[in-house]
Amino acid sequence: MTDSKNIETTTAHRAIGVDIGTGFISCAEEEKGEVVFRKIRDAFFKLNPSKFLEGSANQFGEAMLKNSGAYYVKVDGTLHVLGDDAFKFANLFHQECLRPMSKGVLNPKQPVSNIMVSELVKAVAGQARSPDDVLYYCVPAEPIDADFDIEYHKQILSGVFSELGYQNINVMTEGLAVVYSELADNMYTGIGMSFGAGMCNIVYAFMGIPVFAFSLSKGGDWIDSHAAKHTDETNNVVTALKEKADFSLSDATNGIQRAISIYYESLLNYVVDQFKELYENTPKKKLPNVQQEMPIVVSGGTSLVGGFIDRLTELTSQDFPVPISEVKHAREPLFAVANGLYHAAKISTDIGDGK
């Protein structure tokens, strides 16, 4: 149902970071001296057995899900398959998965979004174990190319965590979480970029303080939908090809691969151009007076295709307003946001303990 990884550490209190992304929900917390990462695909599929069975179709469908070990919930008599199982069922029936999130925020077109997110969060993070648990979750920075309500999204998610028993609930922007995860040795100074399914989140931080942060309404889903449209394929087929371990932006041997590469190029140019424009429009008195080079750290599943870092390095090597020392992936690109949120929560517990 969920994937997990471990990194050794020690702590005295439960601190947990939860990254609620459009593509995946992931969390990081300490268990037995190690940071444990867990993730689940942020998707669901409405299973309607009556379309292909008669009589006791719903009972049969639910029994089938139980026997297969699939993760599901029943809402108003309708079965909803969750997580990676939803992806499998959607492919089986040549349909698209449904997303409780869209472009980085709760999907207003899906009335069960809150319920689905709550169930998926419960799968990876569980319920609170103590009133002293410290939880950090992320939200997008304010978008500069779209108009949607981050505040509504933030309050709804806070309510989801409250219903799971958490009391000490805190929020951080996604890009800053990448900085907290990866740039402690650089005094939390540099550029954090999170390339997710629904959005791209970018922050320029100096000593842990955002100089500016922004989000863009294009991400992996935008690539998938446009590539699918121009190749007459479903989004799921494009996503599956893109997520293959050997896929590279330089390997455009067929129509789908070429389409994916074209839209990746468009996305990367768009991100770099928007950073330059925002930097130029920021008053000089709000920009740090520093000359040293700083790193760009990249996270998110959309960044995992071969050639991504090389191309971003090329685009930021000339005429970029901030001197860059290197462009690199986070140590755990899929979990960097959750890891940064965990470290923020851990810092909070340490402060509470007077450390």
55 belongs to a structural domain: no
229 belongs to a structural domain: yes
- What is the chain's pLDDT, residue by residue, as a tens digit (355 residues)? 556 555 444 444 789 999 998 888 999 999 888 999 999 999 998 876 555 444 455 565 677 778 777 888 888 878 888 998 888 888 877 788 888 887 778 877 788 888 999 999 999 999 999 999 999 999 999 999 988 778 888 988 999 999 999 999 999 999 999 999 999 999 999 999 999 988 999 999 999 999 999 999 999 989 989 888 888 887 877 887 777 767 888 876 777 888 888 999 999 999 999 999 999 999 999 998 888 899 999 999 999 999 999 999 999 998 999 999 999 999 999 999 999 999 999 998 876 565 5
68 belongs to a structural domain: no
52 belongs to a structural domain: no
- Tell me the C-alpha distance between 239 and 199, whole Å: 16
SS3 91: helix
| Helices marked H in the chain | 57-68, 84-92, 113-125, 150-163, 174-182, 220-231, 235-242, 255-281, 308-315, 336-352
329 belongs to a structural domain: yes
pLDDT of residue 183: 97
92 belongs to a structural domain: no
- Tell me the C-alpha distance between 38 and 85, whole Å: 16
What is the Rg, in whole angstroms, of the alpha carbon atoms belonging to the chain?
A: 21
Q: CA angle, 86 as apex, 77 and 6 as ends, to 5°?
A: 125
What is the number of structural domains in the chain? 1
- Tell me the C-alpha distance between 235 and 340, whole Å: 30
Burial (CB < 10 A; 0-12, 13-18, 19+), residue 164, is middle
145 belongs to a structural domain: yes
**Prediction pTM value:** 0.85
For residue 284, give the CATH number of its domain. 3.30.420.40
Residues in Cβ contact with 13 at an 8 Å cutoff, skipping those fewer than 6 apart: 132, 133, 134, 349, 352, 353
CA 20 to chain centre: 6
Q: How far is CA 315 from CA 68, 222, 232, 265, in A?
A: 47, 20, 31, 10
Query: Is the separation of the CB atoms in 205 and 227 below 8 Å?
Result: no
The amino acid at 76: D
pLDDT of residue 8: 46
Structural domain range at position 124: 3-42+99-352
260 belongs to a structural domain: yes
- Residue 165 falls in which region: left (phi positive, over 0), alpha (psi -120 to 50) or beta: left
